[in-house]
Amino acid sequence: MARNYGSVERTERLAPNLVRVVMGGDGLERFTPTEFTDQYVNALFIPDGAPYSVPFDVEAARALGFAQSPKGRRLTVRSWDAAARRLTLDVVTHGEAGYAGAWAGRARPGDLLQMLGPSGDYRPDPDADWHLWAGDESALAAIAASLEAVPAGKSGVALIVVDGEDHEIPLASPGDVEVRWLHRDSVETPASLLPDAIAGLDWPAGRADVFVHGEAGEVRAVRRHLLAERAVDPNRVSISPYWRRHHTDEKWREIKKEWLAEQAQDVAPDQAAGRP
């Protein structure tokens, strides 16, 4: 298996809890991007005391058992510059808990990060009549990359939950995109900002291309609203939870399958708006 790893060239604090990490180096020689604007890598973080360092054999490291095996965290490719062989990730920092956020907060030039991927499955649909993106900071890289891929003449609305005005970052699009920032009280507390904002939207005519990602409970509330009230087709939208409040990624992945199965029952097909 090819070992992809980046060497940190620089970091930049885009917002109080968002760090841009720009990586380069020969370890990215075989990095193969996809066509998707939500493409992500599975970044592999090495627990303290584990007896290996980047670059490492992933299977051998995993065989060491849970405590020492690399901790995978999905992070979106904000951009990939093939000519310069430069990979940019925008990572949410949220204290010292966990791996990805804490690593990004401390990252210094020369630090190495190994990763698997990328893979992805969304890119703005050029045949849609308009676009809707909704999410929080964890989805900002994907939303930002998607906005840049919207052609001129297409319109859309991006709804993004952050902690406050100083957490808003510049976003650009060739399309006619309205960006609305929603300010929560605290990331620790579940909020209904996204479903409320979507419920209040003046819903344009035609088929919406929908991308909703972020905290699991909030994404689920949005999904329920879109299916029940807006008659969006669950098979033609990109809606999924990126993280779960008060759960590490390991804990979240343990229950995610069951959680998604429950979510699938939220809106029965015959309850969906606009269907007989």
Ligand X SMILES: Cc1cc2nc3c(=O)[nH]c(=O)nc-3n(C[C@H](O)[C@H](O)[C@H](O)COP(=O)(O)OP(=O)(O)OC[C@H]3O[C@@H](n4cnc5c(N)ncnc54)[C@H](O)[C@@H]3O)c2cc1C
Interaction site with ligand X (CB under 6 A): 40, 73-76, 90-92, 94, 97-101, 137-138, 141, 187, 242-249
How many CB atoms neighbour CB 132 within 10 A?
A: 23
Instruction: Decide if 40 contacts 74 (C-beta within 8 A).
Output: yes
Kindly list the distances between the CA atom of residue 125 and the CA atoms of 37, 155, 237, in Å, as whole numbers in the listed order.
Answer: 11, 12, 10
Shortest CB 266 distance to ligand X, Å? 20
Q: Which is nearer to ligand X, 163 or 229 (CB)?
A: 163
| Closest by CA position to 218, among listed 272, 153, 138, 127 | 138
Shortest CB 141 distance to ligand X, Å? 4
Task: Give the number of C-alpha atoms closer than 13 A to the C-alpha of residue 95, restricted to the C-beta side.
Answer: 6
Cα 270 to its chain centre, rounded Å, is 31
Nearest residue relative to ligand X (C-beta): 98
Shortest CB 37 distance to ligand X, Å? 12
Q: Take residue 66 and report the two structure tokens written for it.
A: 């849970």
Calculated CA dihedral for residues 246, 248, 251, 252, nearest 10 degrees: 80
Shortest CB 138 distance to ligand X, Å? 4
Q: Which is nearer to ligand X, 5 or 40 (CB)?
A: 40
| Closest by CA position to 249, among listed 73, 89, 90, 128 | 73
Q: Which is nearer to ligand X, 130 or 249 (CB)?
A: 249
Instruction: Decide if 21 contacts 107 (C-beta within 8 A).
Output: yes
Strands of the chain (E only): list them: 4-15, 18-24, 40-45, 71-81, 86-92, 112-119, 130-136, 155-162, 176-183, 208-215, 238-243
Q: What residue type is assigned to position 271 of the chain?
A: Q
Q: Take residue 213 and report the two structure tokens written for it.
A: 């990602």
Shortest CB 164 distance to ligand X, Å? 14
Shortest CB 152 distance to ligand X, Å? 26
Q: Which is nearer to ligand X, 114 or 138 (CB)?
A: 138
Q: Which is nearer to ligand X, 142 or 150 (CB)?
A: 142
Q: Which is nearer to ligand X, 154 or 214 (CB)?
A: 214
Q: Which is nearer to ligand X, 21 or 198 (CB)?
A: 21
